[in-house]
Structure 1
Amino acid sequence: MRGGSTEHVAARAVDHGRLQGRVVRVLAAGQVLGGLGTGAALGLGALLVADVSGSPAWSGMAATMGTLGAALLSVPLATLALRRGRRVSLTTGALVAVLGSLTVVAAAVADLLVLLLAGILLLGAATTLNLQARFAATDLAAPGRRARDLSLVVWATTVGAVVGPNLYEPGEALAGVLGLPPLAGGFVVAAVAQALGAVVYVAGLRPDPLLVAAADEAARVPAGGAPTPRAGGLRVLRGSAAARRAVLTIALSHAVMVALMSMTPVHLTGHGATLTAVGLTISLHVAGMYALSPLFGGLADRWGRRRVVLVGQALLLASLVLVLVGSESHTAVVVALVLLGLGWSAATVAGSALVVTAVEPPQRPALQGVADALMSLAGAVGGALAGPVLAWVGFSGLAAVLVALVAVTTAVQLRPAPSGPAAP
């Protein structure tokens, strides 16, 4: 971080309560727009890859490349946040997502699989943006409200992300007007929405919450004292058992969600479902992911983060069991996808709060970047393996495999809590 930036922020008289309220509102507005874009493209990526490649076995590569892109971009954007603040980092992420959406459209026109996968890789910046925004909500949050403020930003994604999948058919109509392939229209919507999100971050995050928090931390160091040293995210992770457990929790929970969700459009269309039905199913799933996140955030602050993580694992297990016994029923799949979203929400909100409290403030941005990278990488692996597993043992067989990941997370959380700077 540039010293001049920190000194400039420190010189201002900042009303932290008022600033935090505005930061949460700005982040929420950006998430609405970002959610609209990613929601419009969610599910279409798998269908577009299957269409361009000519084989449903490739469909899982959409989730793989998207989450791999998020993993690759997480640490650079977190480093940018550490040096230049959240405003620059989030704006940059939104602009990279715009580039990714436009690249997907170009690939659809040219019918080029390699270009399509590259565009989806860049579009992973939208996921990175989504993940980093939730941590940005904790930079100035009071300790007893961290999970709640984090969850409010997660919740804001609901509006756009639930509406987005229902733009599949309007997206087709837009593609027709623009002379594009039918599945490309949703990515045009994504590009416009992310561009508007970038404008929101540029205009709204002044002063920057991370720079204000860094200035506050520097001011608290007594004269002659040494501030907590910064370290790379992997080094912080190696040195903290609490951080390792928190990161493992959100990574495995995300892998379960991505693997099952990414194969749902392929499974449903293979059983005769229309794009409208697929869009509605994904909308309900996304509603489960985000709509109740403030509830889980409040419970995490009140009950404890570990208990809410375990609630999330129970919901994920219920989803997988329902797929195991009812994969041929569209209704059962819809209910399972809602439970999958709820389980992901509880585990991610509470697990992210555990990441925030695992280490001292100067070390948090670096750890957050690594946590997001590993979370996205786990999703990439889940998405990559989901396609072949679906082709081999079917949708119910995929659910059976994913039960093992839920069991691992549950076992880790039931172990005695490791020590950390703040009680989880």
Structure 2
Amino acid sequence: MATDLTAPRTAARPDVASIQRRTLRLLFSTQIVGGIGVTIGIAVGALLAARIAGTAMAGVAQSAGVVGAALLAVPVTRIMARHGRRPGLVLAYAIGAVGGVLVVLAAATRWVPLLFLGMLLFGGGTAANLQARYAAVDLAEPVRRGRQLSLIVWATTIGAVAAPNFAALADRVTTGWGLPPLAGPFAFSSVAFVLAAAVLLGLLRPDPLLTARRLAADAAPVAGPPPAADARATAVAAETPGTAVAAETPGTAVAAEAPGTFVAAEARGTAVAAGTPAAGGGGTPVAAPVRVRAARGAGVWAAWSVVRRRPAARLGIAAVAIGHLVMVAVMAMTPVRLGESHADADVLRLVGIVLSLHIAGMYAFSPVVGWLTDRLGRRAVILGGVGLLLAACAVAGTAGHHTPRLSVGLVLLGLGWSGTMVAGSTLLSESVPAGVRPSVQGFSDLIMGLAGAGAAVVSGFVMQSAGYPVLTLLAAVAVVPLVALALRPVPTGAPDEEG
């Protein structure tokens, strides 16, 4: 008896709204814990490095943490692509915990190479915190993606505000246990990372990414013979065997039989199993259900192959990376600028106040930014973020030694970063097929991290040779490519056009 290929599927559909609410609550909680762990390390890392390796190497040690977060994003998202968000986030936090332990050992032994290795691995905590924002939108409704992503970003505010107080307490407690000064906060960070990893390992079930893929596959109707595929429908990224190929035509999901090759599709319509003979034996492919899953070869190059063919994805990555570059370049040299006009007794207090205001600008208003992203559109908020970054550079660069005006500039800098980060991340997530989405998100975090690390290094040389006003001017010039991308018209009917 012939099988009715048009019969509806009987598998029970999960309660997506309930799973999403549970996922958001869990991510919000672990983001606070993980944010405390990360911020404690940032707060004392430079001071500890200066004591062990000298002042000249303090900045290098801090940059090692940034670079570590960027590099770890690639293997972490490869694991997510194959096994889901839960194992990837757990691994990232576990690596960060190991890094914190190594930093403590480096402080005890005063072995500089171990310090740099520890700081590199400590970046795993940052990588986990960054990737958590993407897990928040796997099951989000399109009209709520910006708000729900921004909610997880906002949770970092709580950890960032609380962390300095925990750092002082941890240092006092662990010094009594025999640990070197400034090493205790890293021990506390490791505990925080382990706690976050344990909670995610035990409670992030069902996995939001795997659930989203299953729903996408189940939504693909089983129909008759497929339409002829054209070159555009066939692949976004056609690489050598072992590389992911992403089908981008709505309505067609293609499962290839090439050795080591997987075709990741959006699975919103007909599923086609290439090479499957029809019932009549004529060799014509017939429709068959496929499961949208990760591409085994979805690495950096495969991710780039997908991104470079999608204007909205390119804009999303550029918004995140360039916004981060401008923010880090100006923020990193602001303490130095304050040190030019204030005595040592006052500068640390002022740096704490100014940077706290800056962090508030980055995170405290992210729910509002997320709401605007859903209400006004991704591109509009990205352009608004660019405008705030330009205003920040203008205000901070012309503030001279007027600390209140400089503080206003740093708040604007944080708000501009929030706009480009939230809107850019949302746009990127919805502009690529589900099968390669984690790899593309990891690629974005890699570019963002390297951009921030490069900006931190270059900003010091610019500050020394030309001064703070020139640094802010160059930072403002850096947003020009982002403006060009954001204002570029989107072809009507493009697959990544905003709805």
Q: Same fold (TM over 0.5)?
A: yes
Specify the code of the residue in structure 1 equivalent to 2:368: L
The residue that corresponds to 2:30 in the other structure is 30
Give me the whole-angstrom Cα distance separating, in 2, the residues matched to 1:344 and 1:412.
17
Could you give the per-residue CA deviations for residues 7-59 of structure 1, whole angstroms, max 9, x where no partner exists? xxx96652100110110111111100111111222243333334433234x44
1:312-333 deviation per Cα after TM superposition (whole angstroms, max 9, x unaligned): 1122222222221225344333
What's the CA shift for 1:74? 0.9
Q: Which residue of 2 aligns with 1:158?
A: 157
Contact between 2:97 and 2:190, CA under 8 Å: does it hold in 1?
yes
After TM superposition, the structure 1 = structure 2 runs for residues 310-389 of structure 1, keeping only pairs within 5 Å, are 310-389=383-462
Partner of 2:188: 189
Aligned counterpart, 2:236: none
Q: Counterparts of 1:110 and 1:391 in 2: how far apart (Å)? A: 33
* 2:495 counterpart residue number: 420
For 2:327, the equivalent position in structure 1 comes to 257
Counterpart for residue 474 of structure 2: 401
Deviates more, 1:287-296 or 1:171-180: 171-180
Task: Give unmatched runs, 5+ long, in structure 1.
Answer: 1-9
Contact map agreement 1:47 1:266 (CA 8 A) in 2: no
Question: Corresponding residue for 2:96?
Answer: 97
Which structure: larger Rg?
Answer: 2
Answering whether residue 205 of structure 2 is matched by residue 206 of structure 1, we say yes
1:63–1:258: 8 Å Cα contact kept in structure 2? no
Q: Structure 2: how far apart are the matches of 1:267 and 1:172?
A: 28
Mapped partners of 2:490, 2:157: distance in 1: 32
Residues 135 and 106 of structure 1: CA distance in aligned 2, closer, same or farther (over 3 Å) = same
After TM superposition, the structure 1 stretch with the greater mean CA deviation from structure 2, 36-45 or 270-279, is 270-279
Q: Which residue of 1 aligns with 2:306?
A: 236
Alignment correspondent of 2:279: none
Q: Distance in 1 between matches of 2:135 and 2:186?
A: 26
Cα distance change on mapping 1:53 and 1:180 into 2, 3 Å: same
Aligned equivalent of 1:4: none
Does the residue aligned with 2:466 lie in a helix, a strand or coil?
Answer: helix
Q: Separation in 2 of the partners of 1:174 and 1:331?
A: 36
Label 1:72 to 1:416 Cα distance change in 2 as closer, same or farther (>3 A): same
Q: Kindly provide the amino acid, as one letter, of the partner of residue 415 in structure 1.
A: R
> What letter matches 1:156 in structure 2?
A
What is the distance in 2 between the residues matched to 1:109 and 1:134?
35
Displacement after TM superposition at 1:335 (Å): 2.7
Instruction: Provide the alpha-carbon RMSD of the alignment.
Output: 2.4
Shift of 1:243: 1.4
Summarize the alignment of residues 100-249 of structure 1 with structure 2, pairs less than 5 Å apart: 100-223=99-222, 227=253, 229-230=263-264, 232-249=302-319
Q: How many residue pairs get matched? A: 414
Mapping 1:40-119, distance limit 5 Å: 40-56=40-56, 58-119=57-118
User: Match of 2:196, SS?
Assistant: helix
Tell me, yes or no, if the aligned pair for 2:490 and 2:497 is still in contact at 8 Å. Answer: no
One-letter amino acid matched to 1:92:
L
Q: CA separation in 1, counterparts of 2:176 and 2:93?
A: 26
Bigger shift: 329-338 or 239-248? 329-338
Which amino acid is the alignment partner of residue 310 of structure 2?
S
User: 1:392 aligned to 2:465?
Assistant: yes
Distance 2:368 2:40 in 1: 26
Q: Which amino acid aligns with 1:41?
A: G
AA partner of residue 17 (structure 1): A
Q: How many angstroms apart in 1 are the aligned matches of 2:339 and 2:169?
A: 19
Mapped contact 1:254–1:375 kept (Cα < 8 A): yes
Distance 2:49 2:430 in 1: 40
Q: Aligned to 2:401, what secondary structure does the other structure show?
A: coil
Note closer, same or farther for the CA distance 1:138–1:261 as it changes in structure 2 (3 Å cut): same
Contact 2:93/2:197, CA 8 A, preserved across alignment? yes
Residue 266 of structure 1: how far off its partner (Å): 4.7
Closer, same or farther in 2 for the Cα pair 1:350/1:218, shift >3 Å? same
Q: Counterpart amino acid of 2:253?
A: P
What secondary structure sits across from 2:162 in the alignment?
helix
Cα distance in 1 for partners of 2:468, 2:109 equals: 32
> Equivalent residue of 1:183, what SS?
coil
Q: Output the CA distance in 2 between the equivalents of 1:63 and 1:411.
A: 32
Deviation at 1:205, TM superposition (A): 0.6
Aligned partner letter, 1:85:
G
Q: Structure 1 residues 270-279 or 195-204, which shifts more? A: 270-279
SS at match of 1:44: helix
Which one-letter code corresponds to 2:19 in the other structure? L
Q: Higher helix proportion, which one?
A: 1
Q: Quote the Cα distance in structure 1 between the aligned partners of 2:496 and 2:398.
A: 44
Calculate percent identity across the aligned residue pairs: 42
Residue segments in structure 2 that go unaligned for 5+ positions in a row = 1-9, 227-251, 255-262, 265-297
Larger mean CA deviation between 122-131 and 15-24 belongs to: 122-131
- Which AA in structure 2 matches 1:14? P
Q: Distance in 2 between matches of 1:43 and 1:391?
A: 24
Question: Residue deviations 1:99-122, cap 9 Å, x none?
Answer: 112222222333333322222211
Asked whether the 8 Å contact 1:43–1:262 carries over to 2, the reply is no
Please identify, of 187-196 and 228-237, the stretch whose mean Cα deviation from structure 2 is larger. 228-237
CA pair 153-199 structure 1, distance change in 2 beyond 3 A? same
Check conservation: 1:165, 1:280, Cα contact below 8 A.
no
Q: Return the alpha-carbon distance in structure 1 between the equivalents of residues 87 and 14 of structure 2.
A: 20
Q: For the residues of structure 2 that align with 1:216 and 1:26, how far apart are their CA atoms?
A: 21
Please report how far the alpha carbon of residue 368 of structure 1 lies from its aligned counterpart in structure 2 after TM superposition: 1.0
Alpha-carbon contact 1:98-1:195 (below 8 Å) kept: yes
CA distance in 2, matches of 1:99, 1:209: 27
8 Å contact kept, 1:104–1:115 = yes
Aligned match of 1:292 in 317, 340, 365? 365
Which whole-Å CA distance do the structure 2 matches of 1:412 and 1:268 have between them?
A: 35
Alpha-carbon distance between aligned partners in 1 of 2:44 and 2:482, rounded to the nearest angstrom: 30
The question of whether the paired residues in 1 share the 8 Å contact of 2:81 and 2:437 is answered with no
Q: Higher RCO, 1 or 2 (CA under 8 Å, sep at least 6)?
A: 1
**Deviation sequence 1:42-98 (CA, Å, 0-9, x none):** 243333334433234x44324422221112111211111111111111111111111
